[in-house]
Amino acid sequence: MLSNFVVSAIAFLIALGILISIHEYGHFWVARKVGIKVLTFSLGFGKPLWKRTGAVDNTEYVIAAIPLGGYVKMLDEREGTVLEHERQRAFNNKPLWARTLVVLAGPIANFLLAIFAYWLVMMMGISGIAPIVGDVPAGTAAARAGFHLEDKIVSINARKVNTWTDARITLIDESIDRVEPIPIEVETRNGGSARRQLEVTSVSMLEAENDPFSVLGLSIWRPSVPAVVGAFTEGSAAEAAGLAVGDEIVAADGQPISNFSELVGIVHPSAGKAIDFRVERGGTALDFTVTPKASEHNGESIGLIGISPNRPNEAFDRLQVKVKYPPIEALGKAMQRTYDMTTLTLQMLSKLVVGEASLDNISGPLSIAQFAGQSASVGVDHYINFIALISLSLAVLNLMPIPMLDGGHLVYFAVEAVTRRPVSERIQVWGQQLGIVLLGGLMVLAFYNDIGRFLQ
């Protein structure tokens, strides 16, 4: 549990450092290019942990204690006295186009980072799970569409998908503002081709409290693994009780066991409770009593008996996918993925605003840190993909028309372009107060959702 926390914290801080650095450097670089004097470039807020003064303009470079953001402080007559010979270098005295470019530069830098990260991933190859459908519950939308066990999704509304991640993103995207069924091409278990017409709406996808795909009746296919002991972990309760490699567990506490998943379903909730096992060894039935040891997993205590199964390689090879492209094609795919994820994020935000998406979809720093740790533990490809997604989300969030964010400043500039004069300081102060309230409320909601997820 502690090691998971440490991995998540380190992965989160590294990702946050990269994202904030790139965003603020965008503002900094363009400000310098248009002749604005930069006073401070800070990563983080609060008490400085490290600082130094640069050779150009005596700019102060700071790393501060609170890593949840950063800022670039520029020379500005509205924030302090400006010497006469430096007035032309103050932010407020620059033409509208220059100020607009400076504000846009941060989000644009994050979009460029997302494209670069996706490009790296597309060239390296990213591993994933093949979009093969598991058991389809009766009465679900998937069942009505004619989905069957081991259907492999090939395309959704003519958009090719390679992994479950592709399928999820594409299906959510296609479901927004759609009324007619979505055509889905599948490869059947026998190798044939078929088309399913899945009835799905953005309401069913975005208001679902649980996984919307399970609500539709779509789940990942998992190969059936026999409950045969393949190996023991160190200090295994099963080995201590007398089980041996090759034993097939056929019953637990009188319940028949046909595969390893059924065994796990009995063992996990039985930490510290003795379980009577019936096993077959070389054609002979033997009885053993094993007490699962308690282990912490994702904040929950589960029972483990310390065995792993023999996995059928062919089945698991079928489930694993690695998608990889040459550099030029990878760049095109990266730009397309950035565009797709940006439009999907904007659509999700619009649905949240009008109440057509559950507010449970909003995640805060705790959930993001957990996702960072999970992606880092899976592999560098997934971690880079995570950074791309968060960078893109940060860009979109900053462009929202909320005072204090870059998008709020752009709204002021749009008003200035129409009225030919800057927005009054009184209105800007009022807007800043409104922005604090809105962002504070959003942060409280995000933390509330995070805490709720951890408690569940």
Q: Which residues lie below 8 Å from residue 275, measured CB to CB, with a gap of 6+?
A: 252, 253, 266, 267, 289, 290, 291, 292, 305
β-sheet bridge partners, residue 252 = 255, 277
> Between 327-353 and 164-175, two packed helices, what is the crossing angle to 10 degrees?
50
For the question of residue 180 being annotated catalytic, the response is: no
| Beta pairing, strands 275-281 & 284-290 | antiparallel
Catalytic position from the list 24, 174, 207, 239: 24
**CA nearest to 200, candidates 230, 242, 170, 228:** 170
Residue entry with tokens 């591993």: 127
Q: What is the DSSP letter of 213?
A: H
Burial class (CB in 10 A: 0-12, 13-18, 19+), 280: middle
CA of residue 72 relative to chain centroid, distance: 28
Cα–Cα distances in Å, from 382 out to 6, 13, 368? Answer: 18, 16, 14
CA distance 12 to 418: 42
Estimate the crossing angle of helix 380-398 against helix 2-33, to 10 degrees.
50
Assigned token pair, 351: 């649905």
Distance separating alpha carbons of residues 244 and 230, to the nearest angstrom: 9
| 3-class SS letters over 148-210 | CCCCEEEEECCEECCCHHHHHHHHHHHHCCCCCCEEEEEECCCCCEEEEEECCCHHHHHCCCC
**CB-CB contact of 148 with 136 (8 Å):** yes
For the chain, count helices (H), then strands (E): 14, 16
Query: Nearest 5 degrees, angle CA 92-CA 98-CA 101?
Result: 115
Length of the chain: 456
Cβ pair 68, 16 in contact under 8 A: yes
Cα–Cα distance for residue pair 78/14, rounded to 1 Å = 35
Where helices occur in 256-403 by DSSP H, the ranges are 260-267, 313-319, 327-353, 365-378, 380-398
Residues annotated as catalytic are 24
